[in-house]
Every structure is written in C-alpha cells, then in structure tokens.
Amino acid sequence: MMSRAIKKVTLSVLLTFFAAAAVAPILLMLVNSFKTGSELAKNAWGIPSFWTFSNYSSLVSFNSGILVRTFLNSVFVSVVYTLLTLIVSSLAAFAFSKYSFKGKNVIFIFLLATMMIPVEITIPAIYLMFSKVHMLNTYSVQIFPGIANVFCLFMLKQYMDSLPNSLLEAARLDGAGDISIYQKVVLPLVSPAIGALAILTFLGKWNDYLWPSMLLTRTEVMPIMVVLPTLNTGNSQWSTPWELVMAGCVIVTLPLIIVFFIFQDQFMSSVTIGAVKE
C-alpha cells in the first residue's frame, strides 16, 4: 500500500515538473510581450514594472504592415491546403478501401513506403521542378506539393475499412452513383476522422517553416512563421526588436491554443483512428 502511494506521488511530481517545463516558455513569452525593449534587455525573466500594449500596435504597423500581410498569407495557405488535402485524401481512401482494382495492395504499400522518406530529401527536386515552370514565390508552391498526404490517406482508409459494405450496396440499390455514395454516405460517417485530421493538417501547415523558407524569397507571399524570426530594425543582429518578436509569437500562438481547446476531443480521437476494427 505504501509503495503504491509513493509511486502515485512520484508520478504526480514528475507530471507537474514536465507540465511546468512545457508551460513556462509560453508564460515567459506572454509576459515579455508586454515589456519595452530596454526592460526586456534588463529583466527578461521577471514581471514587467510597467505593462505596455505598444508592442502589439507597433507590430501591426511594422514595415508598412508586412506582418499583417504575412499573417493573412498563413491563414489563406493553411486553410486552402487543409481543404485540398482532405478532399484528395478522402477520395483516395475511398477508392483504396471500397473498390478492388489490379495492383491495389502494391500501390498502397508503395505509398506507405514514401512516408519513410525525409521531407528534406525531396526539397531539391521539388525546387528544381517548380523553378522550371516558374512557380517559385507563389502561393501554389506552398500548397500543391503536399496535398497528396499519405498519412491522411492511411488514417482515412483505416477508418473507412470499418464501415460495412452493406451500406454502400444499399445505396447502390437505391440508385445512388459513386459520387453520391461518397458525398452522402461515406463523408458523414467518417466526419470524426476528417475533423481530427483537419486540425492536425492545419496545425502542421501553420507551423511549417522549412518548406517556405527554402522555396520563397518574396516577403509578400511568405507566411508569418518565416518572416517573424527575421524582424530587424537595423543591419546587425543586435537590432532585432525582441519585444516585437515576443508579441508576434503570442499572436501566432493564440489561435493554435484556442483551436486546441475547442477541438481537443478530436485531437485525442485522432490517436486511435483505425486502431480498432469490428
């Protein structure tokens, strides 16, 4: 009995420590966003002696409002990318799950094998390909290369495999075509999986840094995650307005935190999608 109590206390202490370690940088970022530049340099770890909201207003007007433009770029690219990814993935999953065609298993295994290839390896080839068709520095190069998402395909296929084929046969007997079955039967039944994958896909694209930083050179089309770390008021590394960077980090983090708390059930359900079949 005593050993069980000790284990419980030890586990609670460890969980508290790791939770504090995870939350501390976020709180530090939030507090520092309300400090002036001089106070941030002198007191980076303490409570500000004077709370100011000027960093947020300065951030909006910084460099002719370029951060507002890049924030809207992130919203546009993330939303369009998520929608196209889910459409392509759900259609492919429907085909692999409910239709039989020659080489289906081989093709599916080949697609799964591509998940083991690091994304960094594909960047040079994609860069050369899109440079040949003059699509660098566009929204298209940020969206189209990744919409054939094998992870989403796999998760949706696993979920669709659990749907009874009798439902589709009943729909066909009622005169429904393939598109109608997909829209009116399959999509409503897999909506929990689509909701969870929508959140995961959106967050992944929103936080993407490597891809756009390698393929974009025009600030006007860059997402805010690429532009924010490069804020500078001079020509040296000491000219970085860290108080504005902290305020910008808060702005780009708050939507993600809000989305997580709203859709946390879907986040958790995404972990077990396709894990159990009946």
**What's the per-residue H, E or C state across 196-227?**
HHHHHHHHHHHCCCHHHHHHCCCHHHCCHHHH
The reply to whether 19 falls in a domain is no
| Number of domains composing the chain | 1
Which pLDDT does position 1 carry in this prediction?
60
pLDDT of residue 90: 92
Torsion of CA 192, 193, 196, 199, to 10 degrees: -110
Domain assignment of residue 169, yes or no: yes
Q: pTM of the full predicted structure?
A: 0.83
Instruction: Decide if 121 is inside a domain.
Output: yes
Which residues lie below 8 Å from residue 6, measured CB to CB, with a gap of 6+?
none
Dump pLDDT digits (tens) for 182-223.
888 888 888 888 888 888 888 899 988 888 888 888 888 999
Task: Specify the DSSP class assigned to residue 230.
Answer: G
The pLDDT assigned to 100 comes to 86
Domain presence at residue 209: yes
Task: Tell me, yes or no, whether 58 lies in a domain.
Answer: no
* Residue-number span of the structural domain to which 130 is assigned: 66-231+249-271
Max Cα distance, the chain (Å): 75
Question: Is residue 16 in some structural domain?
Answer: no
Domain with residue 184: its CATH number is: 1.10.3720.10
Let me know if residue 10 belongs to a domain: no
Inter-residue long-range contacts of 46-50, CB under 8 Å, 24+ positions, other chains counted: none
Length of the chain, in residues: 278
- Extract the residue ranges of the chain whose pLDDT is less than 70: 1-2, 233-238, 263-264, 266-278
Residue 195 is assigned to a structural domain of this protein: yes
